[in-house]
Every structure is written in structure tokens, then in C-alpha cells.
Amino acid sequence: MKKKITILGSTGSIGTQALEVIEEQSDLFEAYILTAGNNADLLIKQARKFNPEIVVIGNEDKYETVKNALSDLPIKVFAGEDSIADVAGMEVSDIVLTAMVGYAGLKPTINAINAGKTIALANKETLVVAGDLITKLAIKNKVGILPVDSEHSAIFQSMVGEDVRTVEKIIITASGGPFRTLSLEELKYVTKDQALKHPNWTMGAKITIDSASMMNKGFEVIEAKWLFGLSPDQIEVSVHPQSIVHSMVQYNDGAVIAQLGLPDMKLPIQYAFAYPQRLKNNYPRLDFSKYNQLTFEKPDTKKFRNLSFAYEAMKKGGNAACVLNAANEVVVAAFLRNECSFLQMSDVIEKTMQKATFIANPTYEDYVMSDKEARRIAQDFI
């Protein structure tokens, strides 16, 4: 039997690569449900190619466009954010790939967990915003959460068969982004176009900006805490510009196990879909003769303060990381509209974290309210 895959965010970078994996392994996987936020044209092309059971377009204004374009096919078409959350919890699918960007992925992921679906997690903000809630729900519903981020997949692969109690620390690698070698003075003048040119990875606009500011790595630190049950002092970040070592695990005997490979998201996507199997593929192989120098260095948290904010939010707990994420989503959107500078993004995030209401033991409703409050505060500062 083929595994039925629901892809939340099929038109984004992860979603499109996931469909490539499904196409390459079509005897094992099928795209059962596809959802997109706004990109109706690509969603239509994907639906006509993969013939899923259901498609959902988040933007309700584009419902008729999608429905009419697929009227000759036996595909059910729905629209709206509530519909995306609803289909995430449908019992027919085997795996739900959460590849939506940002806070929007939280509610659909909760629905999928409550429905007992295996989660292939690419939406790191879900664990950043509500890690405590999500992990408790996953335990309650006996749901597996398989990481799709290359770094967390690397950690997961390096821990398979090991006793988690013997883990001394994990080392999450970071490329350093396009501005690693710039001075603080030079960072004042970097542009949106410069920030969108990642040296190693091809990603969507939001995550590319997060990578340039190192907020993405901060989110990965928080995500790792929840995925692997670690304390903040067990999570280290190392800047590795070549992006060949995707992350490492150090054990209590001093041994370090790492997962290496070329920067290609299809490998961790395939691993999550097929786990615990490893599937043969034709992806490019790592040729060590072409990488005769792998370097590592400490991140500069004076230049890239967002990483420090993430550790601060992780240690504080409660809704602090929810506030961090909301403020970041606001400033990244503003930066992409040329409404604030690169360094001002961190200024606004810091002020928002200081001003927003702190809730030590938030409920789901508290997270919703905290997200709204933090967005309003950050927008006011901008």
C-alpha cells in the first residue's frame, strides 16, 4: 500500500521538493491532499499532475479560479484557513507534511496530531510557538513527529539506536548566511536583495531572511529542545559555511556522530516519509575530494542578536518564544517591504519581547492572544 501524504503548503520550497520525492518514489507514496495559501496557479498545476483527492486554497478569493480549473477532474476543492486545518485532521492520510510558513501552521498541526497522524515537521514555528503544548499532545495521541529540517533530521539520524540519556550535547550547524563576514557597520546598509541571496540553500523569502539574520538558527535551537527533550545548555550552534555537516551529536563518552551530505532538502524529506527505511535514490552524492576543507566557528551574537533572543526565550519559557516568533514575522514582512532596515529588525524584536505580556503556563487560547498582542506591539514600533 502506498503511503498517502498530505502536504500543507505544497507550493512552497519544501512542498514542491516533497512532490518531487513523491514523483521519484511513486510506487511508495502518493499526494493525497495538497494545500496552498495564495499561489493558485501552481496549486492547479500540481493538482493536474498528481491528481490528489483534495486541494485547498487558503485565499478564499481564489476558490472559483481553482475550482473551475479542476472541474474536469474528480478532485474536491475547498478554500479558507479553516479548511486547511480541517483537512489536516482527515483520517485517510498516513503522513501530514507541515510545510506552511510561520504561525499559520500551528492550528493545522494540532488538528493532525489530534487525529493521530504521523507528522513530518518542516514548520519549525509550530514548536517555537507552542512546543510544550505540541509535545504533550503528541504523547497523548501517540503521534510520531519526524523532523524535516536538515539540521534536525541530521540530529535524529545521528541518534537512531542510541540512548537519549547518553547525549551530552547537540551541535546545530549554521551556514552563517550571506552576511557572515560583514562588520556591524556594514550590516546597517544591507538590502533586501542581498539578504535573499543565500550562499548554499534555495528557500522561500521568509526563511531566507531568517537565515540571514540567524533567527532561523534561533528557531532551530528552540525546536531542538522540544524534539529531543534537551535543556538549553545541551544545545550549541556552530557556524559551518560549507553546509556539508548538517549537525552533530556528542555523547557522554566523547564520541561525536554527524550526518553529512550535499545541501539538498529532498534527502531529509524522503527520510521522514520512509522512516525507518532508507530508500535508494539518484540524488547527487557527496564527493569529499571537492570539499578538502570543512571549517567551524562560533556564531557572533553581537552582530546577530536574534540567536541570543532565542536562547533567552527558551530559558524564560511560557509564551516568550510565541512573542519572539510573532515579532519576527512582522519585522521580516516589513523588511521585505523596505519599511525597516536589517539591524532594526532585531531592535523591534527586543523591544517587543520586553513589552509583551508574559504568561508562564499558556493555553492554546493564550498563544493566540499572545501572537496578536506581539504583532500589534511590533507593528507599532515599526
Beta-bridged to residue 6, according to DSSP, are 33, 96
* pLDDT per position as a tens digit, 342-361: 999 999 999 999 999 999 99
User: Parallel, antiparallel, or unpaired for β 76-79 and 54-57?
Assistant: parallel
Contact 152, 224 (CB under 8 A): yes
**Residue corresponding to grid cell 519576527:** 328
* Cα–Cα distance for residue pair 48/42, rounded to 1 Å: 10
Q: How confident is the model at residue 207 (pLDDT cuts 50, 70, 90)?
A: confident
Considering only the C-alpha atoms of the chain, give the largest distance between any 2 of them, rounded to a whole number of Å: 62
Contact 186, 303 (CB under 8 A): no
Write the single-letter amino acid at 63: Y
Contact 64, 84 (CB under 8 A): no
pLDDT of 201 above 80: no
Please tell me the predicted confidence (pLDDT) of residue 36.
97
Check whether the bond before 276 is cis (ω within 30° of 0). yes
pLDDT of 51 above 90: yes
Q: What angle, rounded to 10 degrees, do the helices at 125-140 and 106-114 form?
A: 10
Report the residue count for the chain: 382
Q: How confident is the model at residue 104 (pLDDT cuts 50, 70, 90)?
A: confident
* Cα–Cα distance for residue pair 211/214, rounded to 1 Å: 5
Q: What is the mean pLDDT of the chain?
A: 95
What residue ranges define each of the domains in the chain, with the CATH number in brackets?
3-147 (3.40.50.720), 152-316 (no CATH)
> What is the model's pTM?
0.93
Contact 267, 283 (CB under 8 A): yes
Contact 227, 122 (CB under 8 A): no
- Averaged pLDDT for residues 47-63: 98
Q: Which residues contact 309 (CB under 8 A, 6 or more apart)?
A: 215, 218, 324, 346, 349, 350, 353
Q: Quick one: which of 321, 368, 375, 369 has its CA closest to 348?
A: 375
Beta-bridged to residue 35, according to DSSP, are 8, 56
Q: How confident is the model at residue 202 (pLDDT cuts 50, 70, 90)?
A: low
